[in-house]
Amino acid sequence: MVRDMLRRFVGSAILTAPIILYSPLGTSLFGRELAPPYGLSPGLLAFVLTSIVVWWGGWPFVSSAARSLRQGELTMMTLITTGILVSYVYSAAVTFGLRGEPFYDAAAMLTAFSLLGHWMEMRSRFATGRAVEALLKLAPPTARRVRDGQEEEVPLEAIAVRDVLAVRPGDIIPVDGVVIEGSSYVDESMLTGEPVPVAKGPGAEVVGGTRNQQGAFRFRATKVGADTALARIVAMVREAQSSKAPAQRLADLAGKYLVIVALAAGVVTFVVWLIFGAQGVSFALSAAVAAIVIACPDALALATPTAITVGVGRAARAGVLFRNATVLEAAAQVDTVVFDKTGTLTEGRPSVTDVIPAAGVEETEILRLAAAADAQSEHPLATAVVAAAKKRALVVDPPSHFEAVPGHGVQATVGGRTVLVGNRKLLERNGVTPGLEREAEGLRAGAKTALYVAADGQVLGLIAVADRIRPTASGAVSALHDLGIRVLLLTGDSRATAETVARTLGIDDVRAEVLPGDKAAEVRRLEEQGRRVAMVGDGVNDAPALAAATVGIAIGAGTDVAIETAGIILMRDDPADVPAALVLARRVHRKIKQNLFWAAIYNLIAIPLAAGVLYPSLGILLKPAWAALAMSASTVTVTVNALLLPRVGTLRSP
């Protein structure tokens, strides 16, 4: 479609050149009247060439206007087509007997310039779309499936969930899955924008469309077809680029009224010059056509979608996905960012740092019982405890009973003993006196989480778990402060641990010891205070809070639930992408306002100028051809302004 528009523009431009050359405009440009070769009639030559330009080059405008009229609508194509056909039909009538002066040059130049403007608009849209569409082509057409120990090459469509697939050095990974054998490094830059290859081994997740660098491995498919991360990214970007922001709906409404105003301005201009002017029908018609053409709301219609299309496309290529245009506009208004701690500001891979036993208790006994109680829990802290027990090669008995207590810990029956592993509140609600307070406070002061371990009503000791703060977290918080954004930490951790992390990163306020179910209420409480809140989390216990916020941001692709509830998905595990996404949203919003402002100013100045208000005093009248050029220039200006949006990589904090 873009190539077709370019072909029509080039052909029309070539045919328009001789039309201008042998027209009154050509005479004024070259200082003398030029005649066509071989004794051809200038009028007939212009008629033939303009007919080709109008009916072939301008056919997209004519056919679109006809469809709109059949549906009872007036669009910008109606204005362009009206200007082209009025100029063409009147000039043809003059050529074949009507008294007056033809202006084929106006019809031809109007068509050519309109084609140029629309080609540039379409090219900018398709350019950003092509980069996203190219992602779909990253998935290979075939994959190596492993059956009965043998590899077989099968079409990608034949792959099913739980199939085992083999990947060799240099291969494109066909679908999403989990590595079960072997190790390698994988280039995930197409997904995250991060150029450094990522190490993969047993248990690591791999994503379809990413490239294996070195080493060979086998993995089990977990998502195929439209469920893969790659397919979902493309679907989300398509939705975002085609969605309409509130500002665009207002611009569309204004554009519809502007079409009516433009047609009315053309009629009034023609009648006024015909009645009160002494220049005749040709002059009146020329002014009317110029007024109609120059008022075409192309720039107004493109002001919002062009900026959104470019912004969403550039963000997607850097691993920042906006769900739709409404989210993009809402993100530009955010004044408060709330971070979850674990997996968001920290790496999400906590490990046991200390085991502090009570008097007469062995460290191994504490760790063995705690690991047994935590064995069935999916919480990151429980995973750390189990991993520490495995590292020490402890024999861990499976629990005969297990119960997770959200926001507090777990309780289980291990070898006939009732075991509690969790925070102080877990012990208190079970009637156990915590003890070891001085030791627990010391751990919290070091930004460690203190887990109490109790059995049969007695505290056995403490297990300290720490999660490293991400290297870019401090820079991300600083960048948000530079934007005038207030930063809060929302966590289920103890207040002492949370405040230590907040002081380290320069976070403004802390909401600690918040149960998972209460996080959404905390976000709503901030919004009731008039704050426009962005909630940032990795999806573990965060989904309700992400949905409650003005803008939910899932970091590191999050969980499936987080992706469904978040408005912005960050494919990288990097807090620096949070301020980068908000800066981009603000830049897009600014571009939209700039484009709408200039489109409005253009119409306020251009319509009276084209109608000839300066002609009586200064002798200035805008010809239809120059009106078409001005209209195209306004369209090009809006498009180029949108293309000046920065790339996300340049917005990330160091």
Q: How far apart are CA 555 and CA 537, in angstroms?
A: 6
What pLDDT is stored for residue 415 in this prediction? 86
What pLDDT is stored for residue 14 in this prediction? 95
Residue 527 lies in a domain: yes
Query: Is the distance from CB of 403 to CB of 420 less than 8 angstroms?
Result: no
Higher pLDDT, 335 or 235: 335
Q: How far apart are CA 610 and CA 287, in angstroms?
A: 6
Residue 333 lies in a domain: yes
Q: In percent, how much of the chain has pLDDT > 70? A: 89
Residue 648 lies in a domain: no
Q: Do 393 and 504 sit in the same domain of this protein?
A: no
Question: Residue 505 — pLDDT band, cuts 50, 70, 90?
Answer: very high
Instruction: Locate 168 and state its tokens.
Output: 């060799």
Q: What is the CATH number of the domain that holds 553?
A: 3.40.50.1000
Min mean pLDDT across 109-113, 364-368, 372-376, 461-465 is at 109-113
The yes-or-no verdict on residue 238 having pLDDT over 80 is no
Query: Is the distance from CB of 210 to CB of 188 less than 8 angstroms?
Result: yes
Q: Do 77 and 193 sit in the same domain of this protein?
A: no
pLDDT tens digits for range 189-207: 766 656 668 889 999 889 8
Cα-Cα-Cα-Cα torsion 636, 641, 646, 648, nearest 10 degrees, comes to -80
- Of 250, 271, 268, 302, nearest to 607 (Cα)? 268
Question: Residue 167 — pLDDT band, cuts 50, 70, 90?
Answer: very high
Q: How far apart are CA 23 and CA 25, in angstroms?
A: 5
The strand order across the sheet containing 184-187 reads: 198-200, 184-187, 211-214
SS3 (DSSP) at 617: helix
What pLDDT is stored for residue 462 in this prediction? 93
- Of 315, 323, 307, nearest to 238 (Cα)? 323
Instruction: Locate 620 and state its tokens.
Output: 């200035």
Rg (CA), the chain: 34
Looking at 566, 585, 604, the residue that finishes a domain is: 585
Q: How far apart are CA 52 and CA 46, in angstroms?
A: 10
Question: Residue 539 — pLDDT band, cuts 50, 70, 90?
Answer: low
DSSP string covering 418-446:
EEEEE-HHHHHHTT-----HHHHHHHHHT
Min mean pLDDT across 25-39, 62-76, 619-633 is at 25-39
DSSP string covering 484-543:
T-EEEEE-SS-HHHHHHHHHHHT-SEEE-S--GGGHHHHHHHHHHTT--EEEEE-STTTH
Q: What is the CATH number of the domain that holds 419?
A: 3.40.1110.10
β-bridge pairing 551-555 and 449-455: unpaired
Phi and psi based region of residue 139 (left: phi greater than 0; alpha: psi -120 to 50; beta: remaining): beta
pLDDT tens digits for range 370-411: 999 998 887 888 889 999 999 998 888 888 899 888 878 899
**What pTM value is reported for the model?**
0.72
Q: Do 7 and 104 sit in the same domain of this protein?
A: yes
Catalytic residue among 171, 176, 298, 340: 340
- Of 222, 227, 233, 229, nearest to 165 (Cα)? 222
Q: Do 548 and 403 sit in the same domain of this protein?
A: no
Query: Is the distance from CB of 607 to CB of 262 less than 8 angstroms?
Result: yes
Q: Do 341 and 478 sit in the same domain of this protein?
A: yes
pLDDT tens digits for range 544-566: 888 889 999 988 754 455 566 78
Total residues belonging to the chain: 654
Q: Do 572 and 446 sit in the same domain of this protein?
A: no
Q: Do 356 and 459 sit in the same domain of this protein?
A: yes
Q: How far apart are CA 384 and CA 348, in angstroms?
A: 10
Q: Which amino acid is at 618?
A: L
Which whole number is the average pLDDT over 473-495?
Answer: 91
Q: Do 484 and 536 sit in the same domain of this protein?
A: yes
Residue 233 lies in a domain: no
Burial class (CB in 10 A: 0-12, 13-18, 19+), 260: exposed
Instruction: Locate 438 and state its tokens.
Output: 């001085």
Query: Is the distance from CB of 237 to CB of 244 less than 8 angstroms?
Result: no
Looking at 451, 466, 481, the residue that finishes a domain is: 466
Q: Do 80 and 8 sit in the same domain of this protein?
A: yes
Residue 258: CB partners within 8 Å, gap ≥ 6? Answer: 295, 297, 300, 603
Residue 181 lies in a domain: yes
- Helix H or strand E encompassing 607: helix 577-611
Q: What is the CATH number of the domain that holds 188?
A: 2.70.150.10
Residue 29 lies in a domain: yes
What pLDDT is stored for residue 131 in this prediction? 55
SS3 (DSSP) at 459: strand
The yes-or-no verdict on residue 652 having pLDDT over 70 is no
What pLDDT is stored for residue 477 in this prediction? 95
Helical H segments across 162-228, by residue range: 189-192
Question: Residue 180 — pLDDT band, cuts 50, 70, 90?
Answer: very high
The strand pairing partners of 354, in sequence order, are 464
456 a catalytic residue: no
What pLDDT is stored for residue 60 in this prediction? 92
- In the numeric block, the tokens 């704050």 are attached to 531
Question: Residue 475 — pLDDT band, cuts 50, 70, 90?
Answer: very high
Q: How far apart are the first and last CA of the chain?
A: 41
Residue 316 lies in a domain: no
What pLDDT is stored for residue 241 in this prediction? 62
What pLDDT is stored for residue 133 in this prediction? 60
DSSP one-letter code for 277: -
The yes-or-no verdict on residue 12 having pLDDT over 60 is yes
Q: Do 126 and 8 sit in the same domain of this protein?
A: yes
Looking at 193, 227, 261, the residue that finishes a domain is: 227
Instruction: Give how many domains the chain has, as a whole number.
Output: 4
Domain that holds residue 459: 351-466
What pLDDT is stored for residue 36 in this prediction? 75
Residue 315 lies in a domain: no
Q: How far apart are CA 138 and CA 413, in angstroms?
A: 50
Higher pLDDT, 93 or 493: 93
Query: Is the distance from CB of 321 to CB of 568 less than 8 angstroms?
Result: yes
Q: Do 212 and 273 sit in the same domain of this protein?
A: no
pLDDT tens digits for range 300-334: 777 777 788 788 878 877 778 888 888 888 999 99
Query: Is the distance from CB of 204 to CB of 179 less than 8 angstroms?
Result: yes
pLDDT tens digits for range 477-486: 999 999 999 9
> What b/e sequence results for 375-408 when a residue is b if at least 16 CB atoms lie within 10 Å of its CB, and e otherwise?
bebebbbbbbbbebbeeeeeebeebeebebbebb
Q: Do 194 and 126 sit in the same domain of this protein?
A: no
Q: How far apart are CA 93 and CA 287, in angstroms?
A: 18
DSSP string covering 552-584:
EEEETT--HHHHHH-SEEESSS-TTHHHHHHHH
Which whole number is the average pLDDT over 532-547?
Answer: 81
